Amino acid sequence: MGNIGPMEILLIAIVALLLFGAGRISDIGKGLGQGIKNFKQGLKEAEELDAPKKPEQLPPATPPASPPRET
């Protein structure tokens, strides 16, 4: 008990086909695909917002000019 084999999956697919029809099942598949795509896109956008931004590259610092020495 608890093992789902190929015959059980085939039976579930046939029952789903009889209940919903071929057109409705394709609409459900299309909707699931779009939902997964939007979910992945949202994760990517959230990751980009949360990622720490790199500090801007500053030009190398030049040493300060020393005042002329009096001798």
In-domain check, residue 38? yes
In-domain check, residue 16? no
pLDDT digits (tens, 9 = 90+) for 1-13: 578 899 999 999 8
| Reduced DSSP (H G I as helix, E B as strand, rest coil) percent helix, strand, coil of the chain, to 5 | 60, 0, 40
The pLDDT assigned to 11 comes to: 94
The pLDDT assigned to 49 comes to: 82
Please state, in angstroms and as integers, the Cα–Cα distance from residue 18 to each residue in 3, 13, 25, 67, 68, following that order.
Answer: 24, 9, 10, 92, 95
pLDDT digits (tens, 9 = 90+) for 15-59: 988 988 888 888 988 999 999 999 999 999 988 887 766 666 666
Which DSSP symbol is given to 57? P
More confident residue, 50 or 14: 14
Domain count, the chain: 1
The pLDDT assigned to 26 comes to: 86
The pLDDT assigned to 20 comes to: 86
Q: Which domain holds residue 32?
A: 22-47
